[in-house]
Structure 1
């Protein structure tokens, strides 16, 4: 009888505490896209990025482990993608083209190096096709994973599209999907991720229509923002900034495809598909207003109209002429 060769002991994955900062950066840098506007990328104390317009559009956002994502649900690639696109959407919502990002990663010592390189690949997958360079950032140790991204953009000679420009009579329009991310999160929380993998992916890797932002600016959009905290909450921000009421059409009329996409998941969980569509966050679509009669650029679709308010009113949101009949208006970072 031949001897049985014993299996070699399983090797523990290499973690952040096993390598130096320089070693980790050496693994990350080759994975990152340079970007069309990058003059000098990572490696020096600062990067240099062209600003052809002469003005730089800047935004930043943060993801905190166990607050915005969980590692048992999200791979490094997922978090890298999500961290990038939620910032790129902010630039698109100003009518600008994103050009570069800088990234800070706080990593606990037991975080696998493979997770970190996956994070870099996720950044690259989101930024590379858009011509956006990942041009630098910082690494630090900490008790949990924290990601911050600062993004820069170029207006291309156009005026920025602000939240405050909507006027009574404007058409309200939306580009992108609604409710998918909220449905995916609900499925994960309920342990039913396998019931609708496409909705779970919409939560883990939202895919906003970034090109629609500059297209909306060229088409004469009067106001615009990234819908990150829910349609009702973010519509209210435009309404208050502009001093108007945004009267949204009935959900079944305005957003039937979105209702249909999340309907089965809502039925499974005993939830409201309409509430996900109206209040669910993190799909990162674009909400905009356009002058009456304007040709809406694809993929914008009309979902309502801006109306006048009294001289002392702060503005607000209606659905089919009535106050929204939902329990919440959307995501609040400080709510319990």
Structure 2
């Protein structure tokens, strides 16, 4: 594993990036960039990244500015919003592409990590996105138990705590994690709009998502405590011109008691879900998708 301090235009400090490489003497199949969920440090993805590198991929993980090892100084001093985090994602994609010229760059996006690709400037460098437990964050499409808490969360807890603290103190509140004020406020706007990011940001965002042409394969988890199938469908609908597939997974499909919102990246799935992810990435590596001339329907598949 290599660690890099990656400069990003417009950012006050470099990003903390980790790059996991295949065994010595093994030519990399291509690059995989793992986009993290809200408040989740890149260290959480290390077991999966190490395993994937062992399968022959060069894998990059990173912390968005103001998160994990990319936090420099107090959180209240971090100037960042979700567009800035998309630029961080862009920088890591460009770094991965330049490290392996001529080889495909694929994304594994966890939750937010599958929402931000619609706002990327480096779309042309991406050959596919595996979306894991991701969907629209519109609060009415949250899982039932979480949905009951959202009016208080968005209308009271977030605005009041950000005003008092200068950032969202999620760690102290045991909700999501600490977030820069700009990220928390923008995310709030997204989650209160029925069309999420595209609705909150307007025409420019709609066009940005519509420019995506790389294929997307989404895994929705039946026992996800945060996201619903409807939310995943709503997120995929934003990528209007991308080839899209949706697979709804239940724990019993892979002989597990639970998967949930975070389970896929835990080592307990190294013999079940992880190989399936590797096969999907390899399919894109072997046969890069050709952009369709008209918006394709979402193809549904069933768990094997």
**Which bin holds the TM-score, normalised by the shorter protein?**
under 0.3
Return the TM-score normalized by structure 2.
0.27
Computing the radius of gyration from Cα coordinates, the structure with the larger value is 1
Return the TM-score normalized by structure 1.
0.25
Q: Which structure shows the higher helix fraction?
A: 2
